[in-house]
Structure 1
């Protein structure tokens, strides 16, 4: 009897310890499985953190390179400022403007690129730290999770006697399993880690391989293929989570805070390097090889080299822009056209300007020019307008296509940043089959609702999602720090658990709404939202599965159900109770708010934090109502994603203004009236003289090689003569104005007869049968310009009768003498025309400053009575001299008994500190030669009205006639003379109102000059 009992006890003890060991084994296996799941989750979140680092590193290296390259470009172009400016030619004058604009445009865009890259680098590093430290954190098990993994012996003993003596599984094959490995708590976790097996489709045969260059276009569409590929059994799990996990959507929002800096830093670098820097080199080559002439200290004239440099820079610009632009053919063609046309126009303008100046050898006279002066000028203006059009186009192309993202998708560098195809036009078709626009991804709810339009029962799903999202936000409001102090611990834990559940379910529903519709989309572990819809006068219940986005009209049998209507009413009651509670926990709420983690990256960080700024500036706006204050507020409303575009836009507008201002400078010179110096060249100016006031006089020259050297004549009478000096002899000619004697008779007759008869006689003669004129005729109308007969020069003093060279001379017709001024301007020699012999030498008085004269004008008759006084030893010879000194003075010289010319009056004083030849020494940037920049008086005359007429020449090559009213001390008029000539000293005054005669010769100081001697008649209006 005892033996069976002992045996039974032994078998019972063995069974007990066997089941206890099996329980311990299952508990250990359960814990190992939980640890493995935790390790897998840690590894998965490790992949997520690696994804974050990879995504941010995509821009880190780029912006570091932009800073380096931009700094190098700015340094290289700044070197042009210090090295290039001193050696840059100033002819033509507008070439320096073009080169200067390109230099500073390159510096500006380079600096903007560096600064954008610096700000972007700081922003992305800050965003990466925020994401890694606050958002993408590995799931660390809590104490509750550890306690759930523990198994105490009391749990085994509490199972009852049946569990103590349970036979092995091979004896009871259909025994109920106990203490199985725990499944994931939520269906969402199952769906995120394990995917349903899908049959893989066989690869199509004969399909051509995708080229590497097609990656840019195909990459956005590859998202759908990646998703399908990751749904297979051998590639599922964490990989799909990496594609579809919500942290990538969060990264997409964060990327907008720094990707715009990356994109626009690259664009500014492109503009600085590929356009402006190459243009700086091209225009410098034009100035160095085409505008610097043969007489420059270093021989650099090489037009083919300039054209090759221009073509190379244009080709490099267009080639590099083809690599960077990712826009349509229209904009690509326009940009290439505006890239090529302005440099080509500038090259043509420089080439034509060099042709006008005979490549630095001396300007051809404007009357003999083949290239008109306005052609290079017009081409320069068109060049500036072409550059301005290019700035407008690049601003248009750089405009962001997605305003909320702030990214310009017309550049390949921006597309390269888009590794997931978020900003591509194919993104909506690949990630959301029925979405209509990429820009809608910036508004997730709009995308989800439009994506559900083609799905069955989409209205119910959309209404449920809206209601669930509203309740989720209401839960967030209830859990704010100021409300937490009024909740019990149990209410707080329930609300937190409900908030987590609602957020998870809403996220699952959004994920399913964004996926393409599938007929068999039932979920293994559904989670339902219960809602109502109104059909006519009745309400009908329906249920929406958050894990499949399916609508059920019958109450589900499986899954957790959340009644949104009851939950909403409960939250409203709780909110009403909180609203009626006293607000005594503000300080505690503030402390709790400070303890909360700060926001990762707001969508618009600049605009969402303007509440305090608005309050501070509100009273300023109300009081001042100023435009500046409103402008400041508008600028402050710019978000971080739009700030780089605004900066680039302002930079482009500034460059556009610079080019338009350059056009205005070339059109209107601020130093002159009308068209200015940028129209002309110092060595080949355009004709500025009045063709109605200045005309050539027909002359019979004594020989072919006649070259005028000086001109003089007596007071105009019936037998007035003109004296014109050649290089070795002096010639004379009679002056005869056709019809002048009839006019003088008419003036005398007018004084004796009534005015009406004079009008009837001379108005018809002057104007034909022009009736209707009833005003009296004045002296100026009667003395109209009379034609001058052909001037025939005859020898007066031959070379054999002269023993000196002269600079200028005066003519005394009554005495038959000529006064010759020596070349050094220190004495005057008197010669007789009758005996052709030397008479006397007149030295300059010691009282005359500087003792050098430039020109003389002899006057005899009543005007010479000033020298009849006996003071200073004057002798009345019946003549005096108006003399121009080399210091810009006109004085009256009278002869004395000592054989000197003594100054009597200072008529005009344009005094300088030094003589004209020593005024200032400058280097001609066109020819490279040093010369004095000054003007000197080479002729003077006084008319019957008291006006004093001066003929002035400038070392820059132009000459002009000025009329001065000495009584009023003002200038009456100014007449520019034709260019490209050497104007000889002396003026010949004709009869009253008939003007003056001037002589000119070919300028031997300029090589390649053509033309012969000329006599011009000036009839001032």
Structure 2
């Protein structure tokens, strides 16, 4: 009887220990399952927050181009009206005598050229703005989407209570504090397996559900480098080539428009003051105001070039803004009381031909500045803008400004770099 009593007591104690171990390990399993699903959803929340930042990057980069193109477009529409006012409503020879032919030739060439560059500017701004918006929509709907988990992924991440029955017996009936508890490898052991002190089969000490999680949720060992550029930046950088040329030439177009428009306004003011007002000094004062403004504009946007080209040794942009001074001097002689037989007519024609030659050379200079020019990657200098060489290969002028949305900007010395190296 004592033996039977002892055996019964031992069996009861073993049963109690097994039952307690079962309940304890099942509670741990359910607790770990809840933490696992919470961590899974938290990870997706962080991923969606990161994707939201990426989507905002795309919107901000696109807004740089679209906002600039819209501003150019508004300026173009306003000056369309002003340009047509000079051509139509305020045309010369209607309210008074027609000005001399030499100044009318320069005037109409400049005012029509300004209208042409204005049309080019509007067209380029429309294309760049529309293409940038379309590219942004493409990336937001195709490549930079929120990583929302599917129902299948959610079902795979969660655990049900009956899954505990599929675990190993050693995990189901592990006696706390008696059987060695699970132990994760340290960072040094993960980096160098040779430093592991535990035996080769020590992974069995980890619960089966933990090992399944490592296989299912952390199977991917890859990932971007810490200092790698996010993929959406590289994708957007390649997409910018669709409108980079239009962005650049719209900036050049607005410069060329204002150059011709300021010249035509100076000539129009001279014709109005001499032909209708019969006022000498207002013509001179107004001419100097527009001349200085024109010179400052060209000095701001056209920089000295580092290489010798066709007209690089003859920078006409330093001389062109002052051609209205030649014409106002010719008009002063033409409307003076001097007798034509004294040789002043020859001086007037000499001055007018000099102005025509300067404007012809200026037309060649404009073509040279805007002409596509192949160049290699410019050197990267701290604090200076930079743009990849393939953007400036055969589609953009030398030293031209890169689109305002580019991640890096050009560092060349030619046309419009100061004005456009803000984006």
- Between structures 1 and 2, the one with greater strand share: 1
Asked whether the 8 Å contact 1:56–1:124 carries over to 2, the reply is: yes
Q: Distance in 2 between matches of 1:44 and 1:131?
A: 15
Asked whether the 8 Å contact 2:124–2:249 carries over to 1, the reply is: yes
Shift of 1:324: 2.7
1:269 aligns with 2:254: yes
Q: 1:169 to 1:58 in 2, by over 3 A?
A: farther
Higher relative contact order (CA 8 A, sep 6+): 2
Corresponding residue of 1:177: 206
Corresponding residue of 1:952: none
TM-score by length of 2: 0.75
1:84 aligns with 2:84: no
**Residues 71-220 of structure 1: pairs in structure 2 closer than 5 A:** 71-80=77-86, 81-85=88-92, 86-87=94-95, 89-142=97-150, 144-153=152-161, 155-168=163-176, 172=180, 175=183, 176-178=205-207, 179-180=209-210, 182=214, 184-189=218-223, 191-192=224-225, 195=226
Q: 1:107 to 1:128 in 2, by over 3 A?
A: same
Alignment deviations for residues 678-726 of structure 1 (CA, whole Å, 9 cap, x no partner): xxxxxxxxxxxxxxxxxxxxxxxxxxxxxxxxxxxxxxxxxxxxxxxxx
Q: Any gaps of 5 or more consecutive residues in structure 1? A: 196-230, 232-239, 426-1021
**Residues 909-920 of structure 1: pairs in structure 2 closer than 5 A:** none
Q: 1:184 to 1:384 in 2, by over 3 A?
A: farther
SS, match of residue 234 in structure 2: helix
1:351 aligns with 2:358: no
Corresponding residue of 1:420: 407
Q: 1:129 to 1:101 in 2, by over 3 A?
A: same
1:342 aligns with 2:341: no
**Residues 171-570 of structure 1: pairs in structure 2 closer than 5 A:** 172=180, 175=183, 176-178=205-207, 179-180=209-210, 182=214, 184-189=218-223, 191-192=224-225, 195=226, 244-273=229-258, 275-289=259-273, 291-292=274-275, 300-326=277-303, 328=305, 334-355=315-336, 358=337, 364=339, 366=341, 369=342, 371-401=343-373, 402=391, 404=393, 406-408=395-397, 410-411=399-400, 414-415=401-402, 417=404, 419-421=406-408, 423-424=410-411
Corresponding residue of 1:927: none
Alignment deviations for residues 919-951 of structure 1 (CA, whole Å, 9 cap, x no partner): xxxxxxxxxxxxxxxxxxxxxxxxxxxxxxxxx
SS, match of residue 187 in structure 1: coil
Shift of 1:79: 1.0
Q: Distance in 2 between matches of 1:277 and 1:96?
A: 14
Corresponding residue of 1:694: none
- Between structures 1 and 2, the one with greater helix share: 2
Q: 1:165 to 1:28 in 2, by over 3 A?
A: same
Asked whether the 8 Å contact 2:25–2:174 carries over to 1, the reply is: yes
Alignment deviations for residues 790-817 of structure 1 (CA, whole Å, 9 cap, x no partner): xxxxxxxxxxxxxxxxxxxxxxxxxxxx
Q: State how many pairs are aligned.
A: 358
Corresponding residue of 1:470: none
1:48 aligns with 2:54: yes
Shift of 1:72: 0.8
Shift of 1:346: 2.1
Alignment deviations for residues 727-776 of structure 1 (CA, whole Å, 9 cap, x no partner): xxxxxxxxxxxxxxxxxxxxxxxxxxxxxxxxxxxxxxxxxxxxxxxxxx
C-alpha RMSD of the superposition:
2.9
Q: Distance in 2 between matches of 1:35 and 1:382?
A: 77
Q: Distance in 1 between matches of 2:409 and 2:137?
A: 23
Q: Distance in 2 between matches of 1:393 and 1:26?
A: 75
Alignment deviations for residues 134-155 of structure 1 (CA, whole Å, 9 cap, x no partner): 2222234345533431334454
SS, match of residue 37 in structure 1: helix
Q: Distance in 1 between matches of 2:323 and 2:340?
A: 29
Alignment deviations for residues 620-643 of structure 1 (CA, whole Å, 9 cap, x no partner): xxxxxxxxxxxxxxxxxxxxxxxx
Q: Distance in 1 between matches of 2:243 and 2:52?
A: 24
Asked whether the 8 Å contact 2:59–2:136 carries over to 1, the reply is: yes
Asked whether the 8 Å contact 2:263–2:321 carries over to 1, the reply is: no
Q: Distance in 2 between matches of 1:400 and 1:136?
A: 34
Q: 1:406 to 1:40 in 2, by over 3 A?
A: farther
Shift of 1:78: 0.9
Q: Any gaps of 5 or more consecutive residues in structure 2? A: 184-204, 374-390, 413-423
Q: Distance in 2 between matches of 1:365 and 1:327?
A: 43
Please tell me whether Structure 1 or Structure 2 has the larger radius of gyration of its CA atoms: 1
